[in-house]
Amino acid sequence: MPLNLSRFRSDASVAPSMMTKSNVSVAVWVLALTTLITGTTESMAEFIPVQSYSMVNGSGTANFGSYDYFDTTYSGSGNKTAEGTIFNGSGLAQPSPAAMLSGGTGLLTDGVIATQNYSQTPGQYVGWKYIDPTITFNLAANSGVQGISVAVGLSPFVQSYVVDGNVVLGSGLVGPPAVFKLSINGGASTIYTPVASSVTGNSEILTILFPNLVVGDTFALTLERGPLLHDGIYYNNFYNGDPANHIGDPQFYLNAGQPNLEPWLMVSEVSFLSAVPEPSTWVMMIAGFAGLGLAAYRRKTKSAMAMT
């Protein structure tokens, strides 16, 4: 079951989509106390609405994917079923101009993190093969951003390869991005290494937090693929690094094996985090609420005594 993040998100063990209004309040207080204990405020971040985003559409069966990992709910202009990855005359992958999406929102900002594998719920992921997608997000003018979180899919060990006579567990050639490259309001790009926090065995959240509040309205985020994982290495060795032997995917060697990059990226959600209270602020807030509660209790007690 996916996690519904339309109101807030955390790494708490209770999925927000399962919460009622009453236990949402309880969860907020639990998270506040966790903030005080752990000294971190990331779990208490509010989320900034994304007005629109633009990008190249995902990849699919035309590039030997098991499914089409397109942004099928996208509300803007562009072909929502167009293949996002094409190849030039040298066989190198590049984004397809015919698959550009712009002016809308879709799967990446619907408030849902996919917790099942991309093969079980392909409609909850946008996936790109052999390219590093750049997604340009448009926020309200002068938005204050403290960080960015990206929920990505991970590969389970569901396939196997025979290497030197041995059966080796593999996966779906899907890996997380190694770095985020970010340009704000058209400025120079900065490279960030995200911090991962596990949600399930099928997905994880990658987050970058800025040391100071960043103000802007246009955030161009590039997700750069990481190095080949064990499945990609074994797959490449199985075909002896020879593109002519890659009958299953003739583009693998030039676009994954040779540059040492895992073929697929899978993303289900991108969130922009606003400024959050520091732990000391929470202490004062909780003390204030406690004082108000005590005052209300005393007033109620005095009122009850006056009526007896």
Which residues 6+ apart lie within 8 Å of 21 measured at CB? Answer: none
Within-domain flag for 5: no
pLDDT tens-digit series, residues 292-308: 444 444 544 444 344 44
Q: Are residues 120 and 88 in the same domain?
A: yes
- Residue 220's pLDDT band, with cuts at 50, 70 and 90, is very high
Domain containing residue 304: 279-308
Radius of gyration from C-alpha coordinates of the chain: 23
- pLDDT attached to residue 140: 97
pTM of the model: 0.75
Q: Are residues 109 and 252 in the same domain?
A: yes
What mean pLDDT do residues 147-154 have?
95
pLDDT tens-digit series, residues 261-291: 999 999 999 999 997 555 554 445 445 544 5
Q: Are residues 49 and 75 in the same domain?
A: yes
Cα(40)–Cα(279) distance, rounded to whole angstroms?
7
Coil, strand, or helix at residue 222? strand
Query: Which percentage of the chain shows pLDDT scores above 90?
Result: 54
DSSP classification of residue 253 = I
Within-domain flag for 26: no
Within-domain flag for 96: yes
- pLDDT attached to residue 249: 79
What mean pLDDT do residues 27-54 have?
57
What mean pLDDT do residues 65-74 have?
96
Q: Quick check: 162 and 276 in contact, CB under 8 A?
A: no
Within-domain flag for 225: yes
DSSP classification of residue 254 = I
Q: Are residues 168 and 203 in the same domain?
A: yes
Question: What CATH number is associated with residue 98?
Answer: 2.60.120.1190
Burial class (CB in 10 A: 0-12, 13-18, 19+), 60: buried
